[in-house]
Structure 1
Amino acid sequence: MIRGTLALCTAVVLTAALATPPVQACTSMLVTKGATTDGATMITYNADAHELYGELYYTPAGRHRPGAQRDVIEWDTGKLLGRIAQAPVTYTVVGNMNEHQLTIAESTFTGRKELEAPAGIVDYGSLIYITLGRARTAREAITVMTKLVAEYGYASTGESFSIADPNEVWLMEMIGKGEGNKGAVWVARRLPEGTISAHANHARIRQFPLNEPDTLYSPDVISFAREKGWYKGADKDFSFADTYNPLGFEAQRFSESRVWSIYRRAAPSLGLGPEYADGSAPDKRLPLWIKPDRQLTVQDAMALMRDHFEGTPLDLAKDVGAGPYAAPYRWRPMTWEVDGKKYLHERAISTQQTGFTFVAQMRAWLPAPIGGVLWFGVDDTATTVYTPMYAGIRKVPRNFAVGVADRGTFSWDSSFWVFNWVANQAYARWSDIVVDVQKEQRALEGGFFADQAEVEKTAVEKYRRSPEAARKYLTEYSVRQGEKVHAHWRRFGEQLLVKYIDGNVRDASGKVDHPRHTDSWYRHIVRDTGKRLLVREAPPVATPATKPAPTPAPKPGADPRKG
Structure 2
Amino acid sequence: MKRISMLGMLIISFLIINQQVSTACTNFLITKGASIDGSTMITYAADSHTLYGELYYQPAADYPEGAMRKIYEWDTGTYLGEIPQPAHTYSVIGNMNEFQVAIGETTYGGRSELASQSGAIMDYGSLIYVTLQRAKTAREAIQVMTDLVAEFGYYSSGESFSISDPEEVWILEMIGKGEGEKGAVWVAQRIPDGFISGHANQARITTFPLSDSKNCLYAKDVISFAREKGWYKGTNKDFSFSDVYAPVDFGGARFCDARVWAGFNKVASGMQSYTEYAKGTVEHGGENNFPTNRMPLWVKPNKQLSVQDVMGMMRDHFEGTDLDMTQDIGAGPYQLPYRWRGLTWQVDSVEYCNERAISTQQTGFSFVAQSRNWLPDPIGGILWFGVDDAYSTCYVPMYCGITEIPECFKVGNGDMLTFSETSAFWTFSTVANYAYLRYSDMIQDIQLVQKELEDKFVAYIPVIDKAAEDLYTNKGKKQARKFITQYSVNEANNATKHWKKLGQYLMVKYTDGNIKREKDGKFERTETGMPASPIFAGYPDWWYKAIVNATGDHFKVTGSSH
Higher mean displacement: 362-371 or 507-516: 507-516
Higher mean displacement: 112-121 or 83-92: 112-121
- Which residue pairs with 1:8 in the alignment? none
Q: Secondary structure at the match of 1:462?
A: helix
Q: Which amino acid aligns with 1:322?
A: A
Deviations 1:326-345 (A, max 9, x none): 10000000001111100000
- Which residue pairs with 1:235 in the alignment? 236
Q: Which amino acid aligns with 1:165?
A: D
Work out whether 1:514 is the aligned partner of 2:536. Answer: yes
Q: Could you tell me how far 1:388 is from its partner in structure 2?
A: 0.4
2:253–2:282 Cα contact (<8 Å) kept: no
- Which residue pairs with 2:37 in the alignment? 38
Q: Which amino acid aligns with 1:224?
A: F
1:264–1:272 Cα contact (<8 Å) kept: no
Q: Could you tell me how far 1:404 is from its partner in structure 2?
A: 1.1
Deviations 1:509-554 (A, max 9, x none): 15311113222212211111112222345299xxxxxxxxxxxxxx
- Which residue pairs with 1:9 in the alignment? none
Q: Could you tell me how far 1:405 is from its partner in structure 2?
A: 1.0
Q: Which amino acid aligns with 1:246?
A: P
Work out whether 1:129 is the aligned partner of 2:129. Answer: yes
Q: Could you tell me how far 1:400 is from its partner in structure 2?
A: 0.1
**Correspondent of 1:489 among 473, 492, 499:** 499
- Which residue pairs with 1:157 in the alignment? 157
TM-score normalized with structure 1 length: 0.91
**Correspondent of 1:379 among 385, 388, 391:** 388
Work out whether 1:404 is the aligned partner of 2:413. Answer: yes
Q: Could you tell me how far 1:263 is from its partner in structure 2?
A: 1.2
Aligned CA-pair RMSD: 1.6
Q: Within 2, Cα distance between the matches of 1:71 and 1:22?
A: 28
1:48–1:356 Cα contact (<8 Å) kept: yes
- Which residue pairs with 2:66 in the alignment? 67
- Which residue pairs with 1:480 in the alignment? 490
2:175–2:184 Cα contact (<8 Å) kept: yes
Deviations 1:376-430 (A, max 9, x none): 0000011100000001100110110111111111111211111110000011110
- Which residue pairs with 2:424 in the alignment? 415
Q: Could you tell me how far 1:43 is from its partner in structure 2?
A: 0.3
Q: Could you tell me how far 1:308 is from its partner in structure 2?
A: 0.3
Q: Could you tell me how far 1:271 is from its partner in structure 2?
A: 3.9
Q: Could you tell me how far 1:251 is from its partner in structure 2?
A: 1.1
Q: Could you tell me how far 1:22 is from its partner in structure 2?
A: 9.1
Higher mean displacement: 261-270 or 30-39: 261-270
Work out whether 1:436 is the aligned partner of 2:445. Answer: yes
Work out whether 1:220 is the aligned partner of 2:230. Answer: no
Q: Could you tell me how far 1:264 is from its partner in structure 2?
A: 1.2
2:26–2:201 Cα contact (<8 Å) kept: yes
Percent sequence identity is 55
Matches within 5 A, 1:300-449: 300-449=309-458
Deviations 1:219-251 (A, max 9, x none): 110011111111000000000000010110111
Q: Which amino acid aligns with 2:439?
A: W
Higher mean displacement: 168-177 or 282-291: 282-291
Q: Within 2, Cα distance between the matches of 1:116 and 1:381?
A: 30
1:61–1:90 Cα contact (<8 Å) kept: yes
1:197–1:288 Cα contact (<8 Å) kept: yes
Q: Which amino acid aligns with 1:230?
A: W
Q: Within 2, Cα distance between the matches of 1:361 and 1:108?
A: 22
Q: Within 2, Cα distance between the matches of 1:23 and 1:182?
A: 29
**Correspondent of 2:295 among 286, 304, 314:** 286
Q: Which amino acid aligns with 1:469?
A: Q
Q: Could you tell me how far 1:269 is from its partner in structure 2?
A: 4.5
1:356–1:376 Cα contact (<8 Å) kept: yes
1:260–1:276 Cα contact (<8 Å) kept: no
- Which residue pairs with 2:54 in the alignment? 55
1:335–1:345 Cα contact (<8 Å) kept: yes
Q: How many pairs does the alignment contain?
A: 522
Matches within 5 A, 1:543-562: none
TM-score normalized with structure 2 length: 0.91
Q: Return 5+ residue gaps in structure 2 as ranges.
A: 3-19, 284-291, 519-523, 525-530
Q: Could you tell me how far 1:262 is from its partner in structure 2?
A: 1.0
- Which residue pairs with 1:561 in the alignment? none
Q: Could you tell me how far 1:196 is from its partner in structure 2?
A: 0.2
Change (3 A) 1:126 1:269: same
Work out whether 1:102 is the aligned partner of 2:101. Answer: yes
Report the structure number with the largest CA radius of gyration.
Answer: 1
Q: Within 1, Cα distance between the matches of 2:561 and 2:137?
A: 83
Q: Which amino acid aligns with 1:32?
A: T
Matches within 5 A, 1:161-200: 161-200=161-200
Q: Could you tell me how far 1:491 is from its partner in structure 2?
A: 1.2
2:71–2:121 Cα contact (<8 Å) kept: yes
Q: Within 1, Cα distance between the matches of 2:30 and 2:328?
A: 33
Q: Which amino acid aligns with 2:541?
A: D
Q: Secondary structure at the match of 1:268?
A: coil
